[in-house]
Every structure is written in C-alpha cells, then in structure tokens.
C-alpha cells in the first residue's frame, strides 16, 4: 500500500504538516477559519519530533500486523483489509491506552482529560496525496508504495 515516509535529512521542523493536518480534519476550508474556531481545533495526527538540528514528522505507519489492533480491548482499532488503513473509532474507545502500550512508534495521540485517543492518521481518507505530504515545503514527506 502507499504509505507516508519521512526523510529526516530534509525536514526543517517547520510544522506545516501539523497545520495542514489540523485544517484537513477541522471541517473548515481555510486556515484562517479553522484556527479562529479554536475550541474545535482537532489535534494533529502528525507529530514532529525535534532535537537540535534533527527533526522529522511521524504519523501512524498503518502496519500490516498492527500491534494497536491486537491490543485494543474495545474493538476501536481496526484495519481495513481492502485499503490497509488502520482506523480508530472514537465512539468505541474507552481510553484504556492499550494502543499506546503497543505502538512501537508512539504514533497515537491521547487526551487523558477526554479519556480517549484523539488523533490518529487516516491517510486523509485516501483522497489523493495526504495533506501533510502535499504541503511539506522541502519534500521531507513522501507518499509512496514500497510494495508492502
């Protein structure tokens, strides 16, 4: 399947990937409108790690044998056998954090107050190139099929 891959050598830590991920999942069309609606601003499903000169952006890897799906006690994490996307169903999530325990990438964003997983990459619903990739100014994110 096509997955997002990061090239940390090219990442400049600008975090535009986070911004456009938020916009895509905010329900708004423009950045101005999305960010004015602060209360309803979703968490980004891409996480930028940065230390000194090194940085890279990380999303859910949509693993074939996804450990989060194995771990989820609520049936909230499932992998679509057709598309390969690992989906998270917020309505079913009970906030047990088993997925956090199992994800070797630490790619799952949680909210302890809400008691739920709040953000997880959905590859922008497979509607073309994911927003984080499309808006990366330095091509540090690529969307490619490596035959797995």
Task: Find the shortest distance in angstroms from Cβ 119 to another protein.
Answer: 13
Nearer to another protein (CB atom), residue 19 or residue 57: 57
Residues 98/73, Cβ–Cβ less than 8 Å: yes
Cα separation, 114 vs 66, in Å, equals 24
Considering only residues 83 to 102 of the shown chain, the ones binding another protein according to CB under 8 A are 91-92, 94-102
138: Cα within 13 Å, side-chain hemisphere: 15
H/E element, 67: helix 67-71
Distance in Å, CB of 19 to another protein, minimum: 20
Contact 59, 121 (CB under 8 A): yes
| Binding flags for another protein, 109-148, as an x/- string (CB under 8 A) | -x-x--x------------------------------x--
Using the minimum distance from each CB to another protein, give the nearer residue, 70 or 126: 70
* Calpha distance 119→30 (Å, rounded): 20
The β-bridge relationship of strands 116-119 and 109-111 is: antiparallel
Pick the binder of another protein from 46, 103, 118, 132 (CB under 8 A).
103
User: Residues interacting with another protein, by CB under 8 A?
Assistant: 3, 5-9, 49-51, 54, 56, 58, 61, 65, 67, 69-71, 73-75, 78, 81, 91-92, 94-106, 108, 110, 112, 115, 146
């Amino acid at each position: 399947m096509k997955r997002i891959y990061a090239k940390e050598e090219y990442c400049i830590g600008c975090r535009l990937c986070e911004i456009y991920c938020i916009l895509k999942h905010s329900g708004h069309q423009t950045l101005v409108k999305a960010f004015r609606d602060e209360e309803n601003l979703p968490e980004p499903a891409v996480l930028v790690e940065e230390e000194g000169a090194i940085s890279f952006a990380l999303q859910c890897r949509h693993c074939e044998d996804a450990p989060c799906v194995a771990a989820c006690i609520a049936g909230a994490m499932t992998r679509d056998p057709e598309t390969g996307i690992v989906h998270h169903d917020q309505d079913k999530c009970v906030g047990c954090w088993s997925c956090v325990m199992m994800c070797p990438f630490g790619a799952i964003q949680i909210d302890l107050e809400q008691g739920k997983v709040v953000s997880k990459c959905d590859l922008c619903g497979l509607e073309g190139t994911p927003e984080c990739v499309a808006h990366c100014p330095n091509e540090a994110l690529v969307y490619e099929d490596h035959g797995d």
